[in-house]
Amino acid sequence: MDGVCTMTDVWQQVLEILKQKVPVSQFETWLRPIKFHKVQDGVLTLEVPDEFFAKWVTDNYLDLIKDAMWDTSRSHINARFLISNYGSMNQKNDEPSGLVEESGASRTEEVRDSLIPWFTFETFVTGPSNYVAHSACQMVASNPAKVYNPLFIYGGVGVGKTHLVQSIAHRVIEHMPQMKVVYMTAEQFVNDVMNALKCERLEALRYSYRGRCDILIVDDIQYLAGKDFAQEELYHTFNYLFNAQKQIVLTGDEMPKAIPRLSERLRSRFLSGLIVDIAPPDFELRKNILLAKAQREGVTLPDDVACFLADRFADSIREMQGAYNRVVAHSLIRKIPLTYDLAVHVCNGIVSPRSQKINKESILKATADYFKVEVSDLTSNKRNRGVSTPRHVAMYLLKKHLGLSLQAIGDIFGGRRHPTILSGIRHIEDVKAGTPAIERAIKDIESELGIV
């Protein structure tokens, strides 16, 4: 017992020496939590929370620990690590132990609380526009890091990207509770990184992403555009997880090549796996989405009402579902039947006649009328300046107000390729502030559409 007490005192002296040699934030994160366990046959056994912690200390601080042990005990002692509440390791000196997975119950509950409960595979309505993405996500959920790693899903607003990746999280939590899932938006990631930088807690943040994560899901990756420091952190986190054979899932509103102000090496990492797009849903899929939502909520939705809403809100699934909610609410509150006439009345009240016409056809027509060209000229292969500028403006407006993917916009303009569409949109973004005529044209067209 006296020997144990003596070595415990020695370890406290070691910690005091280490405290003088490393920054406070690193000491509190990586050295303070280490507990002395025993010394036997010239091997110092130290308790650490988990395997990643052991590896990180081995790679970054083990030499410092050995030097401090020499300074205090004047003996050459090797070290090994013991995972807390696990028992002795059968490992070589200076190597971290094998790890019995920590329960992670509280962390799992935290992740589950951040997910929308009904965003599961069972409630996702499939169709031609999303079938491949749905199948890929199911395969990833069944075999994390075995197929499609990384998986990158892209598409416009409201097409179901978040629903699918949260379905992965739900499935893994339910069927593989030992796996640690991290789900976040890119905005959350940026905020976490900047707060950790401000509070000198980057080491702890890196540990939470890299050491306590089997599946990393980052939603809306386009939010990283132009945020260089956060991109750098994600790059190193990506590399660590990928090399450790952990699953990475990402979503964005464009394919990686089209996301602006993204570092090339991060872009190349995104491109290294499976990239799947989700196109805007067709009429039948929109209708089926409404019918499935109604069934899930116990609402009897007449077919003609579903058809009306699916047709009326063809450009936005979220607006369509919002309109459905309003129609159902009017029926319940006023205690009247949910009919086609009620749907028309409610939608006429929430959608102005001018805003109803904001779709790809109305944008093309308004743009063509403003520049005094034909819509067919905009979508043709003509390249003269009299058509190119109006065409680029139309591309810019389609992207800005309908959130269409580059592929969808390319299809509208005769099958033009992604780089051509992206170049046209960026050209307008670059010149409109310094070109009054272009800025005025955009404002006038938006005014005609009832947007401003």
Average pLDDT over residues 134-138: 97
Per-residue model confidence (pLDDT) at position 1: 40
- The per-residue pLDDT for range 273-325, each reduced to its tens digit, is 999 999 888 889 999 999 999 999 999 999 999 999 988 887 678 889 999 99
Average pLDDT over residues 130-144: 96
Per-residue model confidence (pLDDT) at position 97: 37
CA distance 275 to 254: 10
* Cα dist from 218 to 17, 27, 403, whole Å: 40, 29, 20
- The per-residue pLDDT for range 17-44, each reduced to its tens digit, is 888 888 887 888 888 888 888 888 778 8
Percentage of the residues of the chain whose pLDDT score is greater than 90: 40
Percentage of the residues of the chain whose pLDDT score is greater than 70: 90
Among 1-5, 89-93, 390-394, the minimum mean pLDDT is found in 89-93
- The per-residue pLDDT for range 180-213, each reduced to its tens digit, is 899 999 999 999 899 888 877 788 788 778 877 8
Pick the CATH number of 2-83 from 3.20.20.20, 3.40.190.10, 3.30.300.180, 3.40.47.10: 3.30.300.180
Per-residue model confidence (pLDDT) at position 349: 65
Residues 48-83, buried b or exposed e (16+ Cβ, 10 A)?
bbbbbbbbbbbeebbebbbebbeebbeeebebbbbb
CA distance 327 to 319: 12
CB-based burial label for 446 (10 Å; 0-12, 13-18, 19+): middle
Is 71's pLDDT higher than 90?
no
Q: Which 3 state secondary structure label does DSSP give 252?
A: strand
Domain boundaries, the chain: 2-83, 107-278, 283-351, 357-448
Is 359's pLDDT higher than 60?
yes
Q: Specify whether the CB–CB gap between 158 and 318 falls below 8 A.
A: yes
CATH superfamily of 107-278: P-loop containing nucleotide triphosphate hydrolases (3.40.50.300)
Q: Which two tokens stand for residue 237?
A: 């986190």
Average pLDDT over residues 35-58: 82
Residues 22-45, buried b or exposed e (16+ Cβ, 10 A)?
beeebbbbbbeebebbebeeeebb
Is 237's pLDDT higher than 60?
yes
Summary mean pLDDT of the chain: 84
CATH of segment(s) 283-351: 1.10.8
Per-residue model confidence (pLDDT) at position 157: 81
Average pLDDT over residues 431-440: 82
Q: State which amino acid sits at residue 167.
A: S
Is 444's pLDDT higher than 70?
yes
Among 102-106, 326-330, 354-358, the minimum mean pLDDT is found in 102-106
Average pLDDT over residues 44-55: 82
Query: Does the domain formed by 357-448 have CATH 3.20.20.80?
Result: no
Per-residue model confidence (pLDDT) at position 125: 94
Is 102's pLDDT higher than 50?
no
Per-residue model confidence (pLDDT) at position 89: 39
Q: Which 3 state secondary structure label does DSSP give 22?
A: coil
Is 178's pLDDT higher than 60?
yes
Per-residue model confidence (pLDDT) at position 328: 95
Is 220's pLDDT higher than 90?
yes
How do strand 151-155 and strand 247-252 relate by DSSP bridges? parallel
- Residues 262-271: contacts with CB within 8 Å, 24+ apart? 262/224, 262/225, 262/231, 263/228, 263/231, 263/232, 263/235, 265/235, 266/224, 266/231, 266/234, 266/235, 266/238, 269/150, 269/235, 269/238, 269/239, 269/242, 270/150, 270/152, 270/221, 271/152
Confidence of residue 92 (pLDDT cuts 50, 70, 90): very low
Length of the chain: 452
